[in-house]
Amino acid sequence: MNFRNRLLALVLGRGELRTSEEIFAAARRLMADLRAAGFDAAAEEVQEGFSGLNGLTDGWACFLEHLEKAEGLLPAGIEDLRRGMRALIRAARYAVYR
């Protein structure tokens, strides 16, 4: 899994979210959007990972793990929420595995 994540980070790069401020704002938007759509369990997963961000790589790894769990809780057919989730996963993966 680590090799896969490292490879994805190197190939895909950081994505559209370039700064910590952009990532934090996107995470807050995603949590609000998830709650508004009734996906409270996914929103809680994102919140738990977000609260673990501490500026260190292990905080980003925790955030990535929770984002991936949250994505697994989403049903098919909600591409807007999935797109936002994937952008955050890509940014977090880059922070951990670059």
Q: What is the pTM of this model?
A: 0.84
Place of tokens 């370039």: 18
Residue type, 98: R
Q: At what angle do helices 2-12 and 79-97 cross, to 10 degrees?
A: 100
User: Looking at residue 42, what DSSP letter applies?
Assistant: H
Q: DSSP string covering 39-79, please?
A: -HHHHHHHHHHHHT--SSHHHHHHHHHHHHHHHHHSPTT-H
Predicted local confidence at residue 46, as pLDDT: 97
Predicted local confidence at residue 54, as pLDDT: 87
Predicted local confidence at residue 10, as pLDDT: 55
